Amino acid sequence: MREKDREKFKELASKRVTRALKDIQLIGNLANRSNYDYTDDDVNKIFRALQDEMNACRKRFELAGKGREEKVFSLD
């Protein structure tokens, strides 16, 4: 059973991390000032939200806890 759990973890982790990396690359595309207008405050909010969620994610692994509420990000 443990080997099956390990394989499932590896499969899901690969898919989810790949998707997250792609989404982060897409966020990086927003840096193109010829297409978008943004402030330094907007950028700081984006990176603070990403860092906060990364910290919370790491903490979940450290604590091996269950359950997590979904967060919604907004620049407003």
What are the tens digits of pLDDT across the range 18-64? 999 999 999 999 999 999 999 999 999 999 999 999 999 999 999 88
Tell me: do 25 and 10 sit in the same domain: yes
pLDDT of residue 70: 74
Same domain, 49 and 69: yes
Query: Both 46 and 63 in a single domain?
Result: yes
In this prediction, residue 71 has a pLDDT band, given cuts at 50, 70 and 90, of confident
Tokens 């907004």 belong to 74
Residue 13's domain comprises 1-32
Site of tokens 């499969």: 11
What's the structural domain count of the chain?
A: 2
Q: Are residues 24 and 44 in the same domain?
A: no
Is the per-residue pLDDT at 72 higher than 90? no
Packing angle of the helix pair 2-29, 40-63 (nearest 10 deg): 170
pLDDT of residue 64: 84
Contact 27, 46 (CB under 8 A): yes
Clarify whether residues 74 and 51 are in a common domain: yes
Q: Judge whether residue 73 has pLDDT over 60.
A: yes
